[in-house]
Amino acid sequence: VHGDIIKATRMQATNPKTPLSIFFSKLEECRDKDGYSFLEHVKEMFNRILLNPSAYPLDKFEELSYLIKLTHLKLKQPPTDKQVKEMSAYLSEKQEWVNRYLSQLKLEIHLKMQQLPPQPQGQPQAQPPVPPIPQPPSIANVIAESKMFEWAGVGLGEENWLLISNAVKRLAIQTEAKKIRFWGKILCSTRDIYVIEAKANKDEDFASIPGEDPHGKGLNENVYWITQDLLSDWQKLPDVKAADITSAREIKKMLTGNLDSPVRSFPFYSGKESALLRAQIARISAATTIVPGGIFKANPDNAKEIMPDEESAVPGYAELKGADKWVHLNANILKIGREDYPVLPEGSPDQEKLDKMKEADPVLDRLKPISEDKYGAIEPYWQKTVYGDEQQYNQQGKEGTTSYAALAFRPFRWPGAITVYQNGKWQSLYIGYGIQRGGDAFIPIGPPAVI
Amino acid sequence: MCIRDRLTQSTCGQALMDMLNIDANLKHVAACGDTLNLDERIQLKLALLKLQQGMDFDELLFWGRIRGTSGDYYIAIGLNYKGQYEFPKKKFYWTTSANYEFKPLEEPKNLHKEKVEELETAFTGKPDTFIHKEEQAPPVENAPPVEDNKDKEQKEVKKEDLDDTVEIVKKEPPTSFMELDRLAYVICAIENDTHVVPEGSFKLLPIHEIRRNESFKGLDKRDIKSLDKYYHFRNVQLQEKKILIETNAVSYTHLRAHETSLHLVCRLLLEKKK
């Protein structure tokens, strides 16, 4: 039918005396500034509609007309050599990305375990002393924990969790750290930062700064690895100084993500963004990393250190529901920006000053229960939420009952921090801007221009 | 690509979520660290389907979640494009994690505006919590009596003008300020400041209505990071821009619609994100 219509109109249109041809020639006089005539436009519209009527209902009539005008019946030009180059560059960029992703997925874990020397056959000889098998490092099971965090409404996406999990395992082998976990993510204004926390290795070459905590002690007990792109390498953050922390307490600044840039704030912050980042990580870790009570105990030799309590078992869900059963893992940071006061030499003139400071801001006992934290007049420091069903179930192969509910603790002071407990396992995480709640950032505005 | 507003610290990556594709869409906001757990996803899907039955929307989307200390609020937004001059009509619905049943959210009243700005405490998750309780003789505390009084007041004032007599204008009786009212304010404020859409994702029809642009394939790679390519999804609020639009207005009665480029009209209508 379409063919017949075209044939008929063409015959009438070509014959110069018919009314239709006069009609068409008049229409051709209606042109726009580029010489595109009304007749061509209508023909093109009719063609499109007739070929595919369901795609162009009447509501879309104006839209179709507009789109046809945009293209002006031009044929697609063959690509220029510049476009061809861009295309091949784009394809190779894509291929490179795929290769990087694949390399992140390849994981070869070879934990170096001591092997016993082979027994010589026949004669029983005096056995050489067997060296103790070193303890495998405590590597957090990131993927299992991610399922726990998802119950609490916190997540980074399945694929990202896999990449993070592989990065944690790879760093554990490279650095030979005793304990390693995914610490969290700091959201910045241009590029976000992923952070992994590893227990510092004494063999690492970190120059110790005089007057500050040496590497592996106090606030520098953990070393932090960061990256801004999960497919790239991770870098170590430098150790934290007391001055960084005291200055960070006075400002409220969102990071840009460019770690070498200076921090523009009032009061003046002397370090770069990497120093501010490290200070905030230290503060957040100290304030928000919590563990169930009974897992650790104070070291009998040095009350300021803690060690795992071998005799204890992980408390059950019913016990841990109360906030008083949870304790802070890390020591409190004092006003001077350290965990402990420095020891001055005998007869130092500053001894009195130091004693006054110690009285005003004493070093608190380790493993402080979180129920003692205070925030404001109305709100408690820690908010507790239960996800899932709290019903107690019997366990196969174990005595006692357990609940599969997820229990989440969120501190008010540091929005973004969370600790989740589920069925005998717990983990802390931070995903946020790295700033405290409340208080106004003082950003002085310059005066208007003098005319 | 995640766009974040520093002031309200909210995120609008994939603007709003169509619940049917919730799993795919959640992946896009994963970068910000928040997600919905399995229970929430299923319950919300069902609740939204239930809401859709009674109402007639062009689009019913999941707007987001506001966390509270003893429960969370889940918010849905119903958009009606047809028959609206330019921007669609937005209607909000709320529910809590206690029972997933969406109820309509009332428009925020101007009465408690200053109080909302001062509040720094978290939401509790219980909508009938009193933030500020007013003791008054009539038992009903919410919207209808206040509005009636307002109308009466206006009528009285007009009458007074005509009569040229001086009379003390009756003050509207103060009403209690509940958490649900605060929720309405906060949601409107967040929506006003942070709902952004990429350039070209919506189109303006000649009948002056906005629709989604089906042929929008996404922003160019170079433009993704540029803030110039994102626009607020609401009417223009700056006075200067309003005047600009009025002077450039095209009369559709003369069928000259094709002369104004749709692209230009959209740029004027949609206020640029600063």
**Rounded CA separation A42/A39 (Å):** 5
Nearest CB to A187; choose among B32, B120, B258: B32
Average pLDDT, chain A: 84
Q: Minimal Cα–Cα distance from B158 to chain A, Å?
A: 44
Contact call for residues A232 and A246 (beta carbons, < 8 A): no
Pairing mode, strands A406-411 and A382-387: antiparallel
Chain B residue closest in CA terms to A377? B121
Contact B262 A66 (CB under 8 A): yes
User: Is the Cβ pair B33, A187 closer than 8 Å?
Assistant: yes
Hey, CA dihedral for B221, B222, B223, B227, is it positive or negative? positive
Give the span between the Cα atoms of A413 and A252, in whole angstroms: 13
- Write the burial class of residue B139 (CB in 10 Å: 0-12 exposed, 13-18 middle, 19+ buried): exposed
Is the pLDDT at B12 greater than 50? The verdict is no
For the stretch B54-111, pLDDT in tens is 788 888 889 999 998 888 999 999 999 988 888 888 999 999 988 899 999 988 887 7
List pLDDT tens digits, range A227-280.
999 999 999 999 999 999 999 998 998 999 999 999 988 888 988 999 999 999
Best to test chain B binding among A158, A378, A385, A407 (most B CBs inside 10 Å): A385
Can you tell me the distance from the alpha carbon of B205 to that of B262, in angstroms, rounded to the nearest whole number?
A: 8
Question: How high is the pLDDT of residue A294?
Answer: 83
What is the DSSP secondary structure assignment for residue A308, as one 8-state letter? E
Q: How far apart are CA A96 and CA A79, in angstroms?
A: 24
Question: Higher-confidence residue: B157 or A15?
Answer: A15
Contact B14, B25 (CB under 8 A): yes
Instruction: Kindly list the residues from chain A whose CB atom is less than 8 angstroms away from the CB atom of residue B32.
Output: 187, 431
Q: Do A431 and B33 touch (CB under 8 A)?
A: yes
List chain B residues with CB under 8 Å of A432: 33
pLDDT > 50? residue A30: yes
Q: What is the pLDDT of residue A164?
A: 94
Residues in chain A within 8 Å Cβ distance of B205? 62-63
CB contacts < 8 Å between A and B, how many? Answer: 64
Contact predicate A178/A200, CB 8 Å: no
- Quote the percentage of chain A above a pLDDT of 70: 90
> What is the CB neighbour count within 10 angstroms for residue A421?
24
Strand-pairing partners, residue A384, are A409
- Among the ranges A312-316, A398-402, B81-85, B147-151, which has the highest mean pLDDT value? B81-85
Residue of B nearest to A375 (CA): B121
Rounded to whole angstroms, the Cα distance separating A61 from A48 reads 11
With 70 as the cut, is the pLDDT of residue B247 above it? yes
Q: What does DSSP say about strands A382-387 and A296-298: parallel, antiparallel, or unpaired?
A: unpaired
Between residues B17 and B68, the one the model is more confident about = B68
Q: How confident is the model at residue B174 (pLDDT cuts 50, 70, 90)?
A: low
Dihedral (Cα; B251, B255, B261, B263), 10-degree rounding: 80
Test B37 with A150 for CB contact under 8 angstroms: yes
Contact B40 A153 (CB under 8 A): yes
CA angle B167-B168-B173, nearest 5°?
A: 140
What does the pLDDT read at residue A402? 86
Q: Give B106 to chain A, closest Cα distance, Å.
A: 27
Contact A277, A193 (CB under 8 A): yes
Among A52, A172, A198, residue whose Cα is nearest residue A108 = A172
pLDDT of residue A128: 58
Name which of A138-147, B90-99, B238-247 the model is least confident about.
B238-247
Instruction: Give the 3-state DSSP-derived string for chain B, with helices as H, strands as E and coil as C.
Output: CCCECCCCCCECCCCCECHHHHHHHHHHCHHHCECCCHHHHHHHHHHHHHHHHHCCCCEEEEEEEECECCCCEEEEEEEECCCCCECCEEEEEEEECCCCCCEECCCCCHHHHHHHHHCCCCECCCCCCEEECCCCCCCCCCHHHHHHHHHHHHHHHHHHHHHCCCCCCCCCCCCCEEHHHHHHHHHHHHHHHHCEEECCCEEECCCCEEEECCCCCCCCCCCCCCHHHEEECCCCCCHHHHHHHHHCCCCHHHCCHHHCCHHHHHHHHCCECC
Closest-CA residue in chain B for A431? B33
- Whether A157 has a pLDDT exceeding 80, the answer reads yes
Question: Which pairing describes strands B202-204 and B210-212: parallel, antiparallel, or unpaired?
Answer: antiparallel
Residues of chain A positioned with their CB less than 8 A from the CB of B257: 62
The CA distance from B120 to the nearest CA of chain A, in Å, is: 8
Global pTM?
A: 0.77
Region A295-309 average pLDDT: 81
Mean pLDDT of chain B: 73
Distance CA A263, CA B75 (A): 37
**How does residue A76 score in pLDDT terms, banded at 50, 70 and 90?**
low
- Taking residue A52's Cβ as centre, other Cβ atoms within 10 Å add up to 9
Q: What is the pLDDT of residue A260?
A: 93
pLDDT of residue A299: 83
CB contact under 8 A, B33 and A387: no
Q: Cβ contacts of residue A93 below 8 Å, gap of 6+?
A: none
Instruction: Inform me whether the pLDDT recorded for B261 exceeds 70.
Output: no
Identify whether the C-beta of residue B44 lies closer than 8 Å to the C-beta of residue B36. Answer: yes
Kindly report the backbone phi and psi dihedral angles of residue B200, in degrees, each rounded to the nearest multiple of 5, phi listed first. 90, -5
Apex A420 CA angle, A415 and A425, nearest 5: 155
Name the more confident of B54 and A436.
A436
pLDDT for the residue A152: 93
Read off the pLDDT band of B225 (50, 70, 90): confident
Q: Looking at the partner chain, which of B30, B69, B121 has a beta carbon nearest the beta carbon of A156?
A: B30
How many CA atoms does the CB half-sphere of A315 hold within 13 Å?
A: 18
Residue A168 contacts residue A137 (beta carbons within 8 Å): no
pLDDT > 50? residue B5: no
Question: Do A150 and B65 count as a contact with CB atoms less than 8 A apart?
Answer: no
Band of pLDDT at residue A135, cut at 50, 70 and 90 = low
Hey, what amino acid is at A398?
K
Q: What is the pLDDT of residue A124?
A: 54
